[in-house]
Amino acid sequence: MRHCYFDHNATTPLSPEALETLSECLAEVYGNASSIHHFGQAAKQRLEQARRQVAALLHARPPEIVFVSGGTEADNLALLGVTRPCAGKHVITTTIEHPAVLQACAQIEQEGGRVTYVPVGASGVVDPAAVADALRPDTVLISVMHVNNELGTVQPIEQIGRLARQAGVLLHSDGVQAAGKLETDMERLGIDLYSLSAHKLNGPKGVGALYVRKGTPLRRQMHGGRHERERRAGTENVPGAAALGRVCEWFQKHRTEEAARVAALRDRLEQGILRRVPAVTVNGDPARRAPHTTNLCFAGIEGEAMVIALDLRGFAVSSGAACSSGSVEPSHVLTAIGLRREQARSSLRFSLGRGNTVEQVDALIEAVADAAAHLRRISVEAPSHA
Amino acid sequence: MPDRPIAVAMSGGVDSSTVAALLVRGGQRVVGLTMQLWNQRRLPQLQTGESSGRCCSLDDVYDARWVAGQLGIPYYVVNFEADFEEQVVRPFVSEYLAGRTPIPCTLCNNFIKFDRFLEMADSVGAEKVATGHYARIRFDQVSGRYQLLRGVDTAKDQTYFLWGLTQPQLARTLFPLGELKKAEVRRLAAELGIPIADKPDSQEICFVPNGDYAAFLDAYLAEQGETRGAATGEIVDRAGAVLGTHQGVHNFTVGQRRGLGIARGEPLYVIATEPARQRVVVGRGEELLRPGLVAGQVNWVSWPPLTRPARAQVQIRNKHVAAWATLHPTEDPTRVQVAFDEPQRAVTPGQAAVFYVGDLVAGGGWIEA
């Protein structure tokens, strides 16, 4: 059976460019980028080239890029690196953030800091006024994601950036789902810290970056050598960083047309499903979304059963958040925007990317219609027991 | 789908892994499903460090996934935690608080392992489901009923927990291990290359660590922000004379001898618990004997509903040897009066009374009184 991938917000397939860069570096560029000899210099060259490529995507300067192990580490470094020691400090975030941000905030609270979780309504978009209302004299940091991973909704970062600047508070944004899809100009958006992950950009797992605006006070959270301008200790993952740089370059060149192509596919998918399947609603504000995501609620159908039914038909989609066993728990994002538990359990996320085609989308619409009809039929026929 | 798969309930144990392997070897299309029923990290005060063999531990999921990988079958973990809590854990807790000794496994079998699992099987396009239970099913042409029989390995037989199965459930269920002895299953597992052939058997009540019901109850109620109310009370004899005090009736089960904290010349047993009055009634061994019982919420499995008295062997505990009795229908068709030929020890409300004729499971019900 042919398997088609519609779960790009979970991770993406490795692009040919990334594979080429990775294998070349793994095979040839084995020096330690901190060594002064020929081998070290070659590695350092690749690392700095990658830093320039990442910086270019963010309209930033290369020294503002810190390579880390991925989005989670970038979020942790940003939040804890700014806030520690936490006592007496206040952080503002939202209820729809990724667990990497929410759990880092929980740690800040553990360590004596205070955190305000700004609620988000049915639109899935935070109201900048609510963020402004949460400001206090002891607020040091606002952390609001750029694009929500479950809904695809775009957060009003530019407005939040302005109010952060006025209040003299730093702004962190988790850009893992936004980079490569939206314009990511740190200056224009008023962002001080921005998290990136390579594997959401058709790069490899295990590498990411944190943008740190020049002059931003940041305590390192990994102790050891003086790598990355003493912001992140540990021998640099040169092949990973080089591959991240390469995919950032690809998206910098192709972002506009690729985003338009993916948005057209996403809309075709969404319209097709809405036309073919009764009682389906879109979660989050469809007018304020990144191009690659749609989150749909199928009334009366269990999302988990739908994911399995679609997988057995050759289509990979997702529902909720995977728990440690691999089963599914209702997404905290969907309940945060006011969906009832059963609505959250009936929701599916379709996320598209570079490999998807019109043929795949049309086949997926058929499979969704078929699976939904089957699941609704059996839930009517299911015998009731005492 | 022309070639419909069989959904196998895979727990990560030897039995269900062997079932999956046997079906795959027989050329069947198989989908493996593990039911995530309970989050072991939920009540941290109960953590024992011993995770395997308990309900839904990550190690078990790891094992099930590994076996599925070895067999090359699609495999999913399905989350039934909410259903399990509502239909098994909560009834278990309220039964216990009401002074009965419930069997969550029967509730789990009825509502989760068959009802919910069959729904999930429907979702994946499977007609039949297979589990690693030691029991047999056959279709009887004469009565037109599916019949349930004890597993060939009587030591492993699980029909005491399966009496609630309905005809539609039995019609779709396969118990491939019912004809086998456990030793044969282990040998087969080793032969089929199942890497966990030596894994120990799981515990009886999977979500209660070390069988400590009272500790589970306390932890669960604390988590729910509920209280049990005044728990202490009196231990009395049948005449009402106070012999001692206790820390909560839920700590006691009919037939229990240890842990009473009363020194007497002769051994004393719990003969009844009275949660409404917070009393535990104790007495001598022979005071535990009962001539009969009333079974409620009766489900007829291999037999059609009872219309006149009938003879059967009635089993009242998992380890009890079924005793001959006469079953009398009552005006309420869901209730049966059981009159034993010989009085039986420790008839415990909340446990099941299962009616057998030889290996055949005629039906069963919950012991009311």
DSSP three-state, residue A187: helix
Mean pLDDT across B169-177: 96
User: Minimal Cα distance from B81: which residue of A?
Assistant: A329
Residues of A in contact with B120 (CB under 8 A): 305, 308
Listed by start position, the domains of chain B span: 6-132+176-211, 230-283, 290-367
List the single residue in B31, B58, B168 with the smallest CB-CB distance to A383: B168
Model pLDDT, residue A204: 98
User: Minimal Cα distance from B82: which residue of A?
Assistant: A329
DSSP three-state, residue B242: strand
Give yes or no for a contact between A61 and A51, defined as CB atoms under 8 angstroms apart. Answer: no
- A326 and chain B: CB distance < 8 Å anywhere? yes
Give yes or no for a contact between A147 and A181, defined as CB atoms under 8 angstroms apart. Answer: yes
Look at B110 and A305 and tell me if their CB atoms are within 8 Å: no
Q: Kindly report which listed range (A82-96, A248-262, B39-53, B82-96) carries the lowest average pLDDT score.
A: B39-53
Over 50: is that where the pLDDT of A384 sits?
A: no
Contacts of A278 (CB under 8 A, 6+ apart): none
- Interface probe, candidates B78, B81, B297, B334, chain A, greatest A C-beta count within 10 A: B78
**Closest CA relative to residue B244, chosen from B225, B227, B224, B264:** B264
Give yes or no for a contact between A280 and A351, defined as CB atoms under 8 angstroms apart. Answer: no
Summarize pLDDT for B105-149 with one digit per residue, the tens. Answer: 888 888 888 888 998 999 889 999 999 999 999 999 999 999 999
**Residue A313: which region, alpha, beta or left (left: phi > 0; alpha: psi -120 to 50)?**
alpha
Contacts of B241 (CB under 8 A, 6+ apart): none
* Residue A97: both structure tokens together: 């953030």
Mean pLDDT across A223-252: 96
Q: Which residues 243-302 in chain A show a CB within 8 A of chain B? A: 302
Look at A326 and B125 and tell me if their CB atoms are within 8 Å: no
CA distance A279 to chain B (A): 19
CA distance B123 to chain A (A): 6
CATH code reported for the domain at B6-132+176-211: 3.40.50.620
CA distance A326 to chain B (A): 6
| Mode of pairing for the β-strands spanning B360-367 and B289-300 | antiparallel
CA distance A229 to chain B (A): 40
Summarize pLDDT for A273-306 with one digit per residue, the tens. Answer: 999 999 999 999 999 999 999 999 999 999 999 9
Residues of A in contact with B111 (CB under 8 A): 385
Dmax (CA) of chain B: 71
Residue B263's pLDDT band (cuts 50, 70, 90) = confident
Over 50: is that where the pLDDT of A385 sits?
A: no
Model pLDDT, residue B244: 87
List the single residue in A309, A312, A327 with the smallest CB-CB distance to B36: A327
Model pLDDT, residue B2: 45
Distance between CA atoms of residues A257 and A238, nearest Å: 29
Summarize pLDDT for A243-276 with one digit per residue, the tens. Answer: 999 999 999 999 999 999 999 999 999 999 999 9
- A304 and chain B: CB distance < 8 Å anywhere? yes
Look at B125 and A323 and tell me if their CB atoms are within 8 Å: no
Which amino acid, residue A77?
L
Look at B61 and A325 and tell me if their CB atoms are within 8 Å: yes
Residues of A in contact with B296 (CB under 8 A): none
Residues of B in contact with A324 (CB under 8 A): 58
List the single residue in B39, B123, B168 with the smallest CB-CB distance to A308: B123
- A1 and chain B: CB distance < 8 Å anywhere? no
The total of other beta-carbon atoms located within 10 Å of residue A314's CB is 14
The total of other beta-carbon atoms located within 10 Å of residue B319's CB is 6
Look at A311 and B168 and tell me if their CB atoms are within 8 Å: no
Summarize pLDDT for A136-161 with one digit per residue, the tens. Answer: 999 999 999 999 999 999 999 999 99
Model pLDDT, residue A41: 95
The total of other beta-carbon atoms located within 10 Å of residue A10's CB is 16
CATH architecture of the region B230-283:
Roll (2.30)
Look at B166 and A311 and tell me if their CB atoms are within 8 Å: no
Give yes or no for a contact between A362 and A4, defined as CB atoms under 8 angstroms apart. Answer: no
- Phi and psi torsions of B355, nearest 5°: -100, 125
- A166 and chain B: CB distance < 8 Å anywhere? no
Contacts of B172 (CB under 8 A, 6+ apart): B118, B121, B127, B128, B129
Look at A304 and B110 and tell me if their CB atoms are within 8 Å: no
Of 1.10.645.10, 3.40.47.10, 2.40.50.140, 2.40.30.10, which CATH number belongs to B290-367? 2.40.30.10
Give yes or no for a contact between A150 and A28, defined as CB atoms under 8 angstroms apart. Answer: no
- Phi and psi torsions of B120, nearest 5°: -65, -35
Residue B76's pLDDT band (cuts 50, 70, 90) = very high
Model pLDDT, residue A38: 94
List the single residue in B56, B79, B168 with the smallest CB-CB distance to A329: B79
Model pLDDT, residue B56: 61
CA distance A278 to chain B (A): 18
Dmax (CA) of chain A: 77
Model pLDDT, residue B59: 79
Look at B123 and A326 and tell me if their CB atoms are within 8 Å: no
Over 80: is that where the pLDDT of B327 sits?
A: yes
The catalytic site residues of A sit at: 323
Look at B78 and A327 and tell me if their CB atoms are within 8 Å: yes
- A373 and chain B: CB distance < 8 Å anywhere? no
Q: How far, CA to CA in Å, does A115 sit from each of A34, A74, A95, A156, B271? A: 38, 19, 11, 20, 56
Model pLDDT, residue B173: 96
DSSP-derived secondary structure for B269-311: EEEEEEGGGTEEEEE-GGGGEEEEEEEEEEEESSSPPP-S-EE
Summarize pLDDT for B209-238 with one digit per residue, the tens. Answer: 777 777 888 889 888 888 766 678 889 988
Residues of B in contact with A328 (CB under 8 A): 79
Residues of B in contact with A304 (CB under 8 A): 78-79
* Residue B79: both structure tokens together: 């989350």
Over 90: is that where the pLDDT of A194 sits?
A: yes
Which residue bears the tokens 């330690």?
Answer: A32
Model pLDDT, residue A172: 98
Which residue bears the tokens 């399990």?
Answer: B84
Model pLDDT, residue A383: 45
What average pLDDT does the structure give for chain B?
Answer: 88
Domains of chain A are 4-11+255-381 (3.90.1150.10), 16-251 (3.40.640.10)
**Residue B331: which region, alpha, beta or left (left: phi > 0; alpha: psi -120 to 50)?**
alpha
CA distance B118 to chain A (A): 9
